[in-house]
A = this chain, B = another copy of it.
């Protein structure tokens, strides 16, 4: 015969077990949520961050091919132009209000992408024309086309403020659509990016 008196005691024990399981479940849910959100913050994001230090025509082309390729892949891409790389962003040369060293720098560095020379085979200046000619023959986009494409694809163009300051490059000498930023703005992107390069 069944012992009915045992039932309520058993029921209470079961209720306690259920309450315990419920607490464990809530704890697990909370832990999972906080752990996953902490992990997600540390995951690399779909970004690419590229420092363009060099003002060489060939490296500038490489930087823009990589940047437009990264944007095509869906990476939010930033090009951070510093030192000689700034030369590619210039649109006009201004000597007004510059000191002697700044004027010398302005006169001796290229004003814009069209004046850049390759790192190899400069041929007394003929190397740039030769490289551009070879690219054109093979229907490869010119540097200027690549720069326009990058802009169109939403690639961010940041000019290093400190380099501008040191070399005496004024904001109004740069082409439109260039943001100014410091090394911190590069690192903020790079530290989250899947790809970071120094060119």
Contacts and interface: CB of A to CB of B under 8 A. Distances in A.
A162 interface: yes
A151 to B, nearest CB: 18
Nearest to A17: B18
Contact of A183 (B17, B31, B69, B131): B69
Interface residues of A, number: 84
Majority SS at the chain A contact face: helix
Contacts of A148: none
A66 B187 contact: yes
Contact of A197 (B22, B29, B131, B198): B198
Interface in A1-44: 2, 4-8, 10-11, 14-15, 17-18, 21-22, 24-25, 28-29, 31-32, 35-36, 39-40, 42-44
A170 B53 CA distance: 31
A119 B187 CA distance: 24
Contact of A29 (B28, B51, B135, B194): B28
Nearest to A194: B191
